[in-house]
A and B are shown apart, each in its own frame.
Chain A
Amino acid sequence: MSTMMWPEATDPQSEVDQLVDVCKEHGSVGSVLDLGGRHRESLAAAGFDPVDAAGTAPGQTFDAVVLLGSAFGRQPEEDALRSTVDTVRHHLRPGGLFLFDVLDGNAVLSRRSHNRFTRVTDGATQLVTATRGSVDTDESVLRLDLQRWRLSGGRVVTAARETLLIRFFLPRELDLVLRINGFRLLGTAPLAGGEAAPAYRWNRLAWARAGADTEA
């Protein structure tokens, strides 16, 4: 996964609160593998036993696996997505919970423009991001061309460009993709936690259970 070039969500705690609420709603979740690794401390503070990918023992499985940062949609091909989901399944106990965020196709396709501009002030430093977005409706991919500047002490300290390709999913399409990959979609909700990342506002948290037919 690429390192996030933009600041973390403006309110990471509410993102964690949402994860905790979903986990509690779906039974006993004690051990959590955070594949993105960005919520480990907050999850521990919430009473879970979180581990990141580097800390797993061979064969170790977890009650839940968390994959945020639009990583689910960063695999443009079905095969690449399958191998990501296989990795998730490998780390989940049977019937375990998979929590991830996806770009909402309804939101993407309803919008006239996907261009954005954000400015985040961090002490004397300002982070400026201009995003140009375009939609590939054949492939269901949102392309984000990002330009970023770090301004400090009256000058541009760094400037960078990055292009992100993120697949978006309609609700029933997500259900289909999960079924094909051996998961059952249990629910989705708008992702809590602010919108500092370029596509945040259009993201939903989704949760699914390993084993397509574990429950009716």
Chain B
Amino acid sequence: MRYDANVVEPLHENLFGQLHATYFDMFHRAKDYRAETDQIRGIFTREGPVSAVLDLGCGTGRHLELLAESWHEVVGVDRSGPMVRRARERLARFGDRARVVESDLFELSLDRRFDAVIMMFSLLGYFVSNERVLRALTVMGDHLDPGGLVVFDVEDATAVLGEPGPISGGSLRTPGARPLLTGHTTSVNPDEQVIEMALDMWELDGEAVHDQVHETHLIRYFARRELRLLLATAGFELLGYAGLAGETGNPSQPWLRLAWARKK
């Protein structure tokens, strides 16, 4: 396997910059955050109690907003400045109950612990190598007391490999002041055990290109048993693994599974 941190990290370093952050919520309009958050909250109720939640890779703060609405105290972390700014705007109405920190996951040091740590949007898979996946799980564990919960979603190997054909598409829309041309291609690379997604965006100003970005997302898929072993190695016990809730507005939704585990 050639996709180690030296290959993956330069590709992932600048994902979700200004242009992508501007249109992120539009791209994920069909994502059923409410159903996902209800599913997460159900796990908190069954396995908790949970009152303080840390969201690593919180993006624009959609899950956090829904958790904060239902009494939870929430802290979000993201390394993209433009995403953090959007999350802060979204969560401002909750006052002290919601906070967003701009930080790389591996440099994170919050001087406190939480009842649960969540990591959504398949973020765990973006770390690809065993070493970095285990480090990410360790960071999650560092912010929990024994008995604390982690909840995250992953791309499921059985679903990914059972699906014929890649998911691709493109469109020209005018969601705001300027036309936006976007395209994405998705393919499965079994030798590297990743989904490779290429995303192109051009923001137009008449005939001129006003802004553009090309992103490559490498996302590891996992077998359930493999995930159980990774979790055990990082000091967690896998409690459950189920389809991620929500309507399948996103064509890759059937690939996603929600996993939850307890810190030993």
Contacts and interface: CB of A to CB of B under 8 A. Distances in A.
A172 interface: yes
B1 A173 contact: no
Contacts of A173: 223, 225-226, 229
Main secondary structure of the interface of A (DSSP, over half): helix
Interface string B197-225: 00000000000000000000000111111
Contact of A106 (B128, B190, B225): B190
A140 B42 CA distance: 28
B144 interface: no
B64 interface: no
Residue in B220, B223, B229 whose Cβ sees the most chain A Cβ within 10 Å: B223
B229 A106 contact: no
A138 B1 CA distance: 24
A105 B1 CA distance: 15
A171 B188 CA distance: 14
Contacts of A137: 157-158, 223-224
Given A109-B157, A137-B223, A137-B224, A172 B193 contact: yes
B259 to A, nearest CB: 12
A170 B225 CA distance: 10
A136 B114 CA distance: 35
A157 interface: no
B258 to A, nearest CB: 15
B129 interface: yes
B233 interface: yes
A110 B161 contact: yes
Contact of A171 (B158, B191, B229): B191
B192 to A, nearest CB: 7
Nearest to A135: B158
Contacts of A139: 224-225
Interface string A167-181: 000111101110110
Contacts of A177: 229
A179 B234 CA distance: 13
A78 B157 CA distance: 20
19 contacts: A109-B158, A109-B162, A110-B162, A137-B157, A137-B158, A138-B224, A138-B225, A138-B241, A170-B157, A170-B226, A172-B1, A172-B193, A172-B226, A173-B223, A173-B225, A173-B226, A175-B1, A176-B226, A180-B233
Interface of B: 1, 128-130, 157-158, 161-162, 190-193, 220-226, 229-230, 233, 241
Closest 8 CB pairs of A and B: A106-B190, A109-B161, A173-B226, A140-B225, A137-B158, A110-B161, A176-B130, A172-B193
Interface of A: 78, 105-106, 109-110, 135, 137-140, 170-173, 175-177, 179-180
